[in-house]
Structure 1
Amino acid sequence: MPGTPPAAPGPYRRRPADERAARVRFRRAVALMLMTLVLPGSAQLVAGNRDVGRIAMRVWFGLVLGAVLTLAAVLIWPVFAFWLVSSTTVLALVRFGLIALALGWAALFVDAWRIGQPLTLSFAHRRAVVGVNGVLCLSVAGALLFGSHLTGVYRDSLVTVFGDGEAVAAADGRYNVALFGGDAGAGRFGLRPDSITVASIDAESGRTVLISLPRNLARFPFREGSVMAREFPDGFDCEGCYLNGVSTWATDRPELFRGSETPGIDATLMAVEGITDLDINYWAMVDLRGFRQLVDAVGGVTLTVRDRIPVGLPHESYFRYIEPGRQQLDGLETLWFARARYGSDDYSRMARQKCVMNAMLHQVSPQVALRNFERIARAGSQMVSTSIPTSEVGRFLDLALKAKSQRVSTVSLVPPRINTGDPDVAEIHAMIDQALDRASGEAAPPEKKPRKRRASTSTTGGSIGSLAEGYAANEAEDLGAAC
């Protein structure tokens, strides 16, 4: 009707201006949180406590600058990266730094939510802001805390596995590492080692030669001047005494090794040095049960199975065979591929063990290691005990990556060239010297041209070759081709 005043808006009706203001406040609140995600401290610098904002941004830019400089240093000097990932001090700082960063960033998200004045928002907008803030806060802080956890797991595995002794210089340009495999487990050295191998690694190129010593080697000398050499001046010639029994013999007589925590390892190293005439820099004891976990942690290993390989023994409930062919094996299958003797012999098994080592070296990439980082770290701490000091981990990581791009050579002190019951030590030394010289590209022409080995077409126990003619993987210039 004419002259009637307009009706007042209803109690639940919002004016367009109020709706626009509500949307502006909502967008502002979300923008402050997104600013905190992209540039921590920027929300406080714009609309909050500027002192807090300046401190947060300085810390953030400092971290970004440090990351850029670290990346540049790694690209220019790759060895620096290996030092970073092997320094327990650096890892501890990174671990606690990630925790502090997670807490500080989460606090900035909460403060950005406060600056956005959530009580002035509509109920729907208030819930949305709380949800966005919660997702951002938990995502960022959770990722940083998980990174801190992984760093802690990795650092703990370094401390558990590696020694705290002094670094030893390379001997004649090579690091010689004695690898012992058995069921002893980390810290338990009294049991007989199942396999004994020396990895001789070129200190510059990483080119590796695997020297395998059979566990049934007898009548061998010990390192001159050692405790064992005094006890056995004519060699280890007691009744039933073989190389894999040295550890038990020494462990039963700790009085001969006063001050040593590992008399069995020490005595076995004296034997290995006496047999090979090499100076052993470090040793590593690999628990084969832990090895199974490591293979599972990296997703298995691909091996060429030449013949049916038994898994377990016939009386065991899980007994079965790995069928011939190119196979992706899990931890249990890989363990039995390396250990099986049923229907085979020790020397065929030694050949298969080298094939497993070669496959692990070349198939476990840095990408696989990163994807399975925590499982590998935990398996490694249960699998290995070693005298390699933590300070040398970076060096050996560098050498391992170099070795991945090169072939691995092998030499084994086994029949038919070596009589394990009465070995010719001079022949052993000549075999090893020749293998190392060839690996270094310094092999002199031999006095007598060696008989060229006919390519073997036979397969015994899953390994190319036979006991009579020798197994290809036990003496090869290129282990990969022999497997």
Structure 2
Amino acid sequence: MSHVAHRATTRHHVRQPGQATPLRRVPAKWVRGGTNRSTVHVVPHRGLSCNRTSGERPQPERPRPRGRPYDQREKESMSTEDRNVSTEDDASTPTRDGRELSRHEVRQVRSEQLKRALALTGLSTIWPGIGLLRTRRKWLGVVLALGAAVTAIVLGFVLFSGGVLAGAAKFATKRGLISLLVLVAIGALVWISGILLTAKETSGRRWTSKMRWALRGFTTLMVLIVAVPAVQAVRYVTVTRSAFDKIFTDRYEGRGGPARGPGTGSDPWKSVPRVNMLLLGSDAGTDRYKQRTDSMMVVSIDTKTGDTTLISIPRNLQKVPFPKNNPMHALFPKGYDCPERGGAGAECMMNGVWIEADNNKDKFPADEANPGLDTTREVIGEIVGLHIDYTAVIDMSGFQQLVDAMGGVYITVPGPPPGIPIGGKVVNGYVVPGSITGYIAPGYQKLNGRNALWYARSRVAGTDDDRMRRQRCMVNALVSQTDPFKMVTKFTGIMEAAGQNIRLDVPQDELPAFAELVDRMKSGNSRTVNVTDSVKHYNPDFAKIRSMVKTAINTPHDPKAPKAGATASTSSPTSSSSPTTSSPTTEPSSKSTSVKPVTDTAEHC
């Protein structure tokens, strides 16, 4: 048949058996090398292969693959032993060494590919970028793995170089919390990106739908393993920032000057030989200014040895002196005494100083936000003869929440059976019947928040001195039993309880130095100044109190003395989650045992 093109009489040309491929006319300028415009070149129809000799049906031409050949991408996701398997697009069945694989062999090859993808994705979950080292993105895997290693080494050095508590406190500053938040967020995103990229690079191109969904499900699980702790860490940082915004308050420095704060360098306390902190237990919320101080204690710390001197101030101490630069000195030049109000100083006791100053707030500077707190601090400084550097106010009801959040506290409950009363109300020197709701049994045991609170504040069956001794023992126990690893598990509860019930005028950026100081306190001696046994509360000898304090803080460090938190009991502890309600067989002693002016705290704990 002639090779000259002809027109079909119908819209679609129907090729008869043995007939040549239909041709069409095109201008010469469309053909490379065409010179004569009148020349007509005959070319096959687009997309059809022209076979003039045989009667075979024309086959459509396959488009040329773009980018890397398909078989190259497939082979990069294979293990080395499987790379001799052919995966060419034009092959209906994969081949190996020129031989077509059976269905069983194909399934086996793809199963090995899936196992490899799961293994590498899991490795990228264990450590960022490790799984990418066996893919074409190996250099990215090297960068991620080395970056994670350097970050971990730096964080480990910061955290453990000066102790866990001091290291953690470095991230508790304002800048540290923001840096930690950014580090956790970016680190989690990079880690998760490495997991997703590993899964993408190791997935097969000819996998079945079940294999693809298996890898997707596994990858999702691996992402959650990284994402959930990261979200929890971000939550911890957010809760901490919120609590610290409430806890840390500004200190009024209009009278008495600033606190002797730590410096910089390897030893921040090098130029500060001693730090004095006042602990106030309030019987009202920390956001209420008109309150009575239920307990008052000065903690004087030797920054070199960690030796701690505890000085409890009796709540019923009378005629306490106001500093001359305090506006209250003009009202009470001879001390806080007011017999005209009811005789015998019925209202003018140490625990009423806060309210007295608040009632005369107009006599204080306008920029002084809390004259009651400031005056209480200054009066106690006059009593003990020490400059009070920092003050912590703790709501006593919040103390219960704090101990519960810490998981309880181990302590030795003193006294004969039935123990320390819970509740109780005294009227005219007698206990109101039915007001005692239970007892804390004697012995070494673990107290929950409620029992720890009544251990520290109950005074129904004893004296104020007995009560103050127990408070010193409680402070001693809490300091010694601070475990950073246990606190992490109860971190949120501790922070929320602290934010609601504690106010502290320590600058937040000084927390790392104070954490280091707490570590030193654990290895130091703990001494107690027994004020109540040495002076009369209605006519106290303040010069004698100052002399006792001076003797205590000048006592040399004794490496053989019991450390902070040591107790006289060696028996195994019992748990005290509920009080004993048995009736007492004997009346608890109301007299305090005579003790020396300065003793080791552990002797009474």
- The interval holding the TM-score normalised by the smaller chain is 0.7 to 0.9
Q: Which residue of 1 aligns with 2:498?
A: 380
Q: Is residue 2:443 matched to residue 1:325? A: yes
Q: Which residue of 1 aligns with 2:480?
A: 362
Q: Distance in 1 between matches of 2:238 and 2:193?
A: 23
> Are the aligned partners of 1:304 and 1:324 in contact in 2 as well (CA < 8 Å)?
yes
- Please list the CA deviations of residues 367-388 of structure 1 after superposition, one character each: whole Å capped at 9, or x if unmatched: 3223322222222222210111
Secondary structure of 1:37's partner?
Answer: helix
Q: Which residue of 1 aligns with 2:470?
A: 352
- Please list the CA deviations of residues 353-408 of structure 1 after superposition, one character each: whole Å capped at 9, or x if unmatched: 11111111222323322332222222222221011111221222111111112331
Q: Is residue 2:529 matched to residue 1:411? A: yes
**Shift in Å, 1:432:** 0.9
Q: Which residue of 2 aligns with 1:176?
A: 276
**Shift in Å, 1:55:** 5.9
Q: Which residue of 1 aligns with 2:223?
A: 137
> Are the aligned partners of 2:465 and 2:592 in contact in 1 as well (CA < 8 Å)?
no
Q: Which has the larger radius of gyration?
A: 2
Q: Which residue of 2 aligns with 1:427?
A: 544
The residue correspondences of 1:40-439 to structure 2 (distance < 5 A) are 40-41=128-129, 47=135, 50=137, 57-58=142-143, 60-72=145-157, 76-78=161-163, 81=167, 84-117=170-203, 120-164=206-250, 168-169=260-261, 173-239=273-339, 240-258=347-365, 259-307=367-415, 308-313=419-424, 319-415=437-533, 417-438=534-555
Q: Is residue 2:586 matched to residue 1:478? A: no
Specify every segment of 5 or more residues in structure 2 that has no aligned partner in the other structure, as ranges.
1-92, 94-100, 252-257, 263-270, 340-346, 425-431, 559-585
Secondary structure of 1:477's partner?
Answer: strand
> Are the aligned partners of 2:282 and 2:294 in contact in 1 as well (CA < 8 Å)?
yes
Structure with higher helix content: 1
Q: 1:27 to 1:295 in 2, by over 3 A?
A: same
Q: Distance in 2 between matches of 1:190 and 1:298?
A: 29
Q: Which residue of 2 aligns with 1:454?
A: none
Q: Which residue of 1 aligns with 2:105?
A: 17
Percent of aligned positions with the same letter in both sequences?
30
Residue type at the aligned position of 1:109: I
- Please list the CA deviations of residues 23-62 of structure 1 after superposition, one character each: whole Å capped at 9, or x if unmatched: 13212321341242244345557546x4xx7567535523
Residue type at the aligned position of 1:384: I
Q: Distance in 1 between matches of 2:548 and 2:241?
A: 40
Q: Which residue of 1 aligns with 2:569?
A: none
Q: Which residue of 1 aligns with 2:576?
A: none
- Please list the CA deviations of residues 92-119 of structure 1 after superposition, one character each: whole Å capped at 9, or x if unmatched: 1211321222233223323333333367
Secondary structure of 2:524's partner?
Answer: coil
Q: Distance in 1 between matches of 2:239 and 2:206?
A: 45
The residue correspondences of 1:440-459 to structure 2 (distance < 5 A) are none
Q: 1:327 to 1:47 in 2, by over 3 A?
A: closer
Secondary structure of 2:293's partner?
Answer: coil
Q: Which residue of 1 aligns with 2:119?
A: 31
- Please list the CA deviations of residues 311-359 of structure 1 after superposition, one character each: whole Å capped at 9, or x if unmatched: 2237779911112222221110110111112222222111111111111
Q: 1:440 to 1:231 in 2, by over 3 A?
A: farther
Q: Distance in 1 between matches of 2:476 and 2:135?
A: 60
Q: Distance in 2 between matches of 1:59 and 1:190?
A: 58
> Are the aligned partners of 2:458 and 2:467 in contact in 1 as well (CA < 8 Å)?
yes
> Are the aligned partners of 2:279 and 2:297 in contact in 1 as well (CA < 8 Å)?
yes
Residue type at the aligned position of 2:239: V
Q: 1:461 to 1:396 in 2, by over 3 A?
A: farther
**Shift in Å, 1:423:** 0.9
Higher relative contact order, structure no. (Cα contacts within 8 Å, ≥ 6 residues apart): 1
Q: Distance in 1 between matches of 2:590 and 2:555?
A: 25
Q: 1:135 to 1:160 in 2, by over 3 A?
A: same
> Are the aligned partners of 2:279 and 2:393 in contact in 1 as well (CA < 8 Å)?
yes
Residue type at the aligned position of 2:260: V
Q: 1:316 to 1:139 in 2, by over 3 A?
A: farther
**Shift in Å, 1:140:** 1.0
**Shift in Å, 1:219:** 0.9
Q: 1:189 to 1:401 in 2, by over 3 A?
A: farther
Q: Distance in 1 between matches of 2:355 and 2:220?
A: 60
Secondary structure of 1:189's partner?
Answer: coil
Q: Distance in 1 between matches of 2:327 and 2:556?
A: 33
**Shift in Å, 1:132:** 1.6
Secondary structure of 2:528's partner?
Answer: strand
| TM-score, normalised relative to structure 2 | 0.68
Q: 1:157 to 1:205 in 2, by over 3 A?
A: farther
Q: Distance in 1 between matches of 2:195 and 2:160?
A: 34
Q: Distance in 1 between matches of 2:226 and 2:349?
A: 59
Residue type at the aligned position of 1:250: A
Q: Distance in 2 between matches of 1:461 and 1:81?
A: 50
Residue type at the aligned position of 2:363: L
Q: 1:439 to 1:385 in 2, by over 3 A?
A: farther
| TM-score, normalised relative to structure 1 | 0.84
| Aligned counterpart in structure 1 of residue 591 of structure 2, from 460, 467, 471 | 467
Q: Which residue of 2 aligns with 1:456?
A: none
> Are the aligned partners of 2:169 and 2:515 in contact in 1 as well (CA < 8 Å)?
no
Q: Distance in 1 between matches of 2:434 and 2:211?
A: 65
Secondary structure of 1:426's partner?
Answer: helix
Secondary structure of 1:23's partner?
Answer: helix
Secondary structure of 1:204's partner?
Answer: coil
**Shift in Å, 1:235:** 1.0
- RMSD of equivalent CA atoms: 3.0
> Are the aligned partners of 1:41 and 1:54 in contact in 2 as well (CA < 8 Å)?
no
> Are the aligned partners of 2:306 and 2:523 in contact in 1 as well (CA < 8 Å)?
no
Q: 1:355 to 1:152 in 2, by over 3 A?
A: same
> Are the aligned partners of 1:92 and 1:152 in contact in 2 as well (CA < 8 Å)?
no
